[in-house]
Structure 1
Amino acid sequence: MIRVLLVDDDPLVRSGLRLMLGGAPDVRVVAEAKDGAEVAALVAEHSPDIVLMDIRMPGMDGLAATEALRARPSQGTPGSSAEERPPEVLVLTTFNSDEHVLRALRAGAAGFVLKDTPPREIVAAVRKVVAGEPVLSPAVTQQLIAQVSEGRGGREIRAERARTQLALLGDREREVAVAVGQGKTNAEIAAELYLSVPTVKTHVSRILAKLDLNNRVQIALVVYDAGGAL
């Protein structure tokens, strides 16, 4: 059962999402919040697998709440059944060109969905994120990053930082990271690099650990900042 925390200041939106997700046999809404400041306590109380997070809210907005939530250290021994990781975050927004989306992705959100997305696709997005898959297609990811990064200051600083991060990886890990940045699946990466899928998964896990990242979307952002192809 996938446990969901809904975070939105509009009670009608929360009601609609609860009704929508309630129709899925493997999804259960365990709590709701109307402000980002309520998220930490509700996560501690209900241990959701995923948070559906609105961006614009009074008080603490969804961006600050996502940054705080994903910055929480894991509890327990890494890799053990006792390890408790922060829940995944799926951002809710009304505009696919919203410049705040990039900040949410950099903070560790696994992707975003528009509020007018068909119910079936929102349920599918929740399942994908919990399974460790970003919900943005490669084309949408690159378009979004390009839109919100165009003309913004600090691009050279981000590029230098990204190249420094990628220098921490071994040759094969960098190849896997670039492939992730191109939006390829584990199976596609395995075929391209003549590896097994479990080996690719191991490389991805090591990349996340070495670079202190949360998910594949953040790997893609680092690769994009570094120039895309290494």
Structure 2
Amino acid sequence: MDGQTERPARDGEDGATRRRLPPAERRQQIVDEAVRFFAEVGLEGKTRELARRLGVTQSLIFNYFATKDELIDAVYEKVYIGRLSPAWPERLTDRSVPLRDRLLAFYSEYSALIFEREWMRIFMFSGLAGASLNRRYLEHLGDVILLPLLAETEALAQTDAPPKMEDVWNLHGGIVYIGIRQHIYRMPKPAKPQEEIARAIDKYLLYFGIDSEN
């Protein structure tokens, strides 16, 4: 969260015991547990409690991350940016492949990565807390995925009214909602999520008069 300046306790203050690990392995361990921790309790969770779960001192965490903000940034990189494949923009704009096939391939892969409890709950907690994680992620997603998708839709649309960015966000949001329904609202997920994704894509293409073979 913006402005987090939580500082470490002194070694031994929290009574934690420590097992020595190589620095890179220890840092990864902290980030992995922080993902699980913040997904469970929200971004207001205290690093003292995170340290207790890790079995280390709070000060050890701050040896790797100067502030809680830095730790949350590392969580952001792992949960959000680390799941966006650098190959997706090129594949989404490959006009040798029908747009429907490109969309199906992208959202099948994307949904497999984000339809997870940790991703959904951290995203929810970040939004509720007014943290910058959501804004940064959605801006990045818009630039590298949704703007190219809008251009591809514009190139094929057969309607008088041109596609707008809001139309692309509506498609994207409708698909993401499948995961929200399961992990946030605790409602049963569709029996066949991929069929729901295909239905949303077909509805989107039909709205703009785009043939599924184009």
User: Which one has a bigger Cα radius of gyration?
Assistant: 2
Q: Going by fraction, where is helix more abundant, 1 or 2? A: 2
Q: Which has the higher strand share?
A: 1
TM-score normalised by L of structure 1: 0.29
Larger relative contact order (Cα-Cα within 8 Å, sequence gap ≥ 6): 2
